Amino acid sequence: MASLRCPCGENFRTETDDELVEKVQAHLAEAHPGRSYSRDEILMLAAMS
Ligand SMILES: [Zn+2]
């Protein structure tokens, strides 16, 4: 189980790290154009949350 809370308040919860990275990158592209995180950065944020 992987989860991450975007600073905008959106919550993401997925079964695998791969899905989480995919979901968060899609959300960034849609809701926060111009901001992007690498897979490593997303997983690091997820580990802290
Ligand atoms: Zn967001």
Q: Domain extents for the chain?
A: 2-48
Q: How far does residue 11's CA lie from ligand 1's centre (Å)?
A: 8
In angstroms, the CA 46 to CA 6 distance is 10
In angstroms, the CA 6 to CA 8 distance is 5
Instruction: For 4-34, write each residue's pLDDT tens digit.
Output: 999 899 999 999 999 999 999 999 999 999 9
Q: How far does residue 25's CA lie from ligand 1's centre (Å)?
A: 10
pTM of the model: 0.88
Q: How far does residue 12's CA lie from ligand 1's centre (Å)?
A: 10
Maximum distance among all Cα pairs of the chain, rounded to whole angstroms: 28
Q: How far does residue 46's CA lie from ligand 1's centre (Å)?
A: 14
Write phi, then psi, for 30 (nearest 5 degrees): -85, -45
Q: How far does residue 31's CA lie from ligand 1's centre (Å)?
A: 6
Whole-number pLDDT of residue 49: 67
Whole-number pLDDT of residue 48: 82
